[in-house]
Amino acid sequence: MNTEARAPLNVDVSPDQLPAIGPDDPAYRVFIDSLDYLPAQDLARVEEAFVFSERCHRGQKRISGEPYITHPLAVAGALAEWKMDAVAIMAALLHDTIEDTGATKEELARRFGKPVANLVEGLSKLDRLEFASQHEAQAENFRKMLLAMARDIRVILIKLTDRLHNMQTLGSMRPDKRRRIARETLEIYAPIANRLGLNTLFRELQDLAFKSIYPHRYDVLERTVKSVRGNRKEMVQKILSSLSEKLAQAGVNAEVFGRQKTLYSIYRKMIEKHLSFSQVLDIYGFRIIVETDAACYLALGALHALYKPLPGKFKDYLAIPKVNGYQSLHTTLIGPYGTPIEIQIRTRDQHRLAQEGVASHWLYKETGKFSDDLHDKTTKWLESLVEMQSMSGDSSEFYELAKVDLFPDEVFVFSPKGKIFTLPRGSTAVDFAYAVHTDIGNRCVAARINRDFAPLRTELQNGDQIEIITAVIPNPNPAWLKFVRSGRTRSKIRHFLRSAHHESSAALGKRLLSSELARYGQRLQDVPEAEWGRILSASGTQAEGQILSQIGTGQRPATDVAVELLGIDPTQALPTAAREPVMINGADGVAVHLSTCCQPIPGDPIVGSLDAKRGLIVHTHDCLRIRRQLGHDAQKWVDVEWAPDINGQFDVRIRVEIRNQRGVLAKISSAIAEAESDIVHISMDDLGGMYTTLFFTLQVRDRKHLARVMRNIRHLPEVSRIARIRESEEKPL
Confidence tier at 50 by pLDDT (50, 70, 90): very high
Q: Is 325 left (phi over 0), alpha (psi -120 to 50) or beta?
A: left
Model pLDDT, residue 357: 66
pLDDT digits (tens, 9 = 90+) for 549-601: 777 766 777 777 887 887 776 655 556 666 677 788 765 555 677 888 888 99
The CATH class for the domain spanning 650-724 reads alpha beta
pLDDT digits (tens, 9 = 90+) for 644-695: 888 788 889 999 999 888 888 999 999 999 999 988 889 887 656 788 899 9
**In 408-460, at which residue ranges do the beta strands (DSSP E only) sit?**
410-414, 420-424, 444-449, 452-454
Model pLDDT, residue 87: 92
Contacts of residue 136, Cβ cutoff 8 Å, sequence gap at least 6 = 395, 396
Vertex 262 angle, CA 260 and 263, to 5°:
120
Model pLDDT, residue 262: 85
pLDDT over 70 for what percent of the chain?
78
Q: Which of 4, 100, 121, 342 is catalytic?
A: 100
| Dist. CA 156–CA 196, nearest whole Å | 10
Strand partners, 556: none
Model pLDDT, residue 11: 44
Model pLDDT, residue 380: 63
Structure-model confidence comparison of residues 720 and 22, the more confident one: 720
C-alpha radius of gyration, the chain, whole number? 34
Model pLDDT, residue 696: 93
Domain 26-216 sits in CATH 1.10.3210.10: yes
Strands 650-659 and 719-724: antiparallel
Which residue ranges make up each domain of the chain? 26-216, 227-357, 409-485, 494-637, 650-724
Confidence tier at 469 by pLDDT (50, 70, 90): very high
Catalytic residue status for 96: no
Confidence tier at 431 by pLDDT (50, 70, 90): very high
Model pLDDT, residue 8: 38
Nearest Cα neighbor of 521 from 580, 459, 479 is: 580
Could you give the maximum distance between any two Cα atoms of the chain, in Å?
Answer: 108
Catalytic residue status for 100: yes
User: 492 near 441, Cβ under 8 Å?
Assistant: yes
| Dist. CA 5–CA 502, nearest whole Å | 44
Model pLDDT, residue 312: 81
What mean pLDDT do residues 461-467 have?
A: 85
What mean pLDDT do residues 347-361 have?
A: 74
| Dist. CA 142–CA 413, nearest whole Å | 31
Structure-model confidence comparison of residues 637 and 702, the more confident one: 702
Q: Which of 54, 99, 207, 349 is catalytic?
A: 99
What mean pLDDT do residues 205-217 have?
A: 93
| Dist. CA 19–CA 73, nearest whole Å | 14
Confidence tier at 254 by pLDDT (50, 70, 90): very high
Q: Which of 27-36, 240-249, 638-647, 650-659 has the lowest mean pLDDT?
A: 638-647
Residue 632 has pLDDT above 70, yes or no: no
Confidence tier at 231 by pLDDT (50, 70, 90): low
Which of 3.40.50.11540, 3.10.20.30, 3.30.1390.10, 3.20.20.20 is the CATH number of 409-485? 3.10.20.30
pLDDT digits (tens, 9 = 90+) for 151-183: 777 888 898 999 999 999 888 888 888 998 898
Model pLDDT, residue 374: 57
pLDDT digits (tens, 9 = 90+) for 363-377: 445 444 445 565 566
- Return phi, psi of residue 655, to 5°: -120, 130
CATH annotation of 227-357: 3.30.460.10
Residue 635 has pLDDT above 70, yes or no: no
